[in-house]
Amino acid sequence: MQITFLVDNNSLIGSCFLAEPALSILIKDEDKRILFDAGYSDAFLINARRKGLDLLHLDWIVLSHGHFDHTWGLADLARHYFEAGLEKLSHSRPRLLAHPLAFVTKRKGALPEIGMLIAEDKLSHQFELALTNEPVWLSEKLVTLGEIERVLDFEQPAPLGERMDPDGPVDDNIVDDTAMAYVTDQGLVVISGCAHSGICNTVEQARRITGVDTVHTVLGGFHLQKAKPERLDPTTDYLAALNLKNLYACHCTDLAAKIALARKCPIKEVGSGLTLRF
């Protein structure tokens, strides 16, 4: 499997890749090409072009959840495919996999919309929608984790704004949050978007779904911003106990959290343009 960070909050030192407060990752596994999240803007498309990566022949688009920094780039991706059709260029019709609640309106404070910008029916004209809260195997070794169970006491739900349900607004615990896992001979590679469910809960879900206990690498956003000690300390201890080979903390993980994690875990540098192989 090959993983390329198409966009992250940071870019690699000495590189010319764009960065933005968002996340988008391209995954290649055998003959499958999966786009995991689409960032905030067209930055992921620009970086893909600079890396010489083809996004016109995707098999899957997987959304970690419905927030703006992971989905608003879908408008640019739809335009990319529209223009390919207009110019009669070869392109696929990807399947888009997401939790059914990823499309509902989300808001926070004075911000009228922090969720998806493109309605479900509009997006279905461009991509084949597959909406489920269950795990889905995309290849023999790569699986989406479905709706993540929140089983650890130190990673209980923390509402972020409101979600508009049919009966009105409710606290948004971001139940649409999901992630991915890849099975290697050395253990799991856990790929997180934002980990609103908690990065440790996410790892536990990956272990349950795959039946594999050993974890080789954890990467992606860990949602550790201004994390208090009662959250950060047990998170660090949990990840340290996994005896990981690599920990690539990015996107929604701030410097204080990275420093705390680095005291006990094998933190590695990550940013837009980074390619990893497993």
In this structure, what CATH number is given to the domain that contains residue 259? 3.60.15.10
Q: Which domain holds residue 76?
A: 2-277
Average pLDDT, the chain: 97
Cβ neighbour number for residue 202 with a 10 Å cutoff: 31
Which segment of 164-168, 182-186, 212-216, 226-230 scores lowest on mean pLDDT?
164-168
Banded model confidence at residue 121, pLDDT cuts 50, 70, 90: very high
Average pLDDT of the segment spanning 70-81:
98
Secondary structure class of 232 (helix, strand, coil): helix
* In the predicted structure, residue 156 carries a pLDDT above the cut 90: no
Average pLDDT of the segment spanning 151-172:
93
Average pLDDT of the segment spanning 190-218:
98
- pLDDT 10s digits, 134-145: 999 999 999 999
What is the C-alpha to C-alpha distance for residues 6 and 36, in angstroms, rounded to an integer?
Answer: 10
pLDDT at position 157, please? Answer: 83
Average pLDDT of the segment spanning 172-182:
97
* In the predicted structure, residue 253 carries a pLDDT above the cut 90: yes
Which segment of 13-17, 52-56, 85-89, 256-260 scores lowest on mean pLDDT?
13-17
pLDDT at position 106, please? Answer: 97
Average pLDDT of the segment spanning 176-184:
98
Banded model confidence at residue 208, pLDDT cuts 50, 70, 90: very high
- 149 and 171 Cβ atoms separated by less than 8 Å: no
Q: Is 50 exposed, middle or buried (0-12, 13-18, 19+ CB in 10 A)?
A: middle
pLDDT at position 35, please? Answer: 98
* In the predicted structure, residue 123 carries a pLDDT above the cut 90: yes
What is the C-alpha to C-alpha distance for residues 7 and 238, in angstroms, rounded to an integer?
Answer: 27
Average pLDDT of the segment spanning 120-143:
97
Number of domains observed in the structure of the chain: 1
For 32, 199, 230, the CA distances from 61, given in Å and listed in that order, are: 11, 21, 35
pLDDT at position 122, please? Answer: 94
For 129, 155, 271, the CA distances from 260, given in Å and listed in that order, are: 40, 17, 19
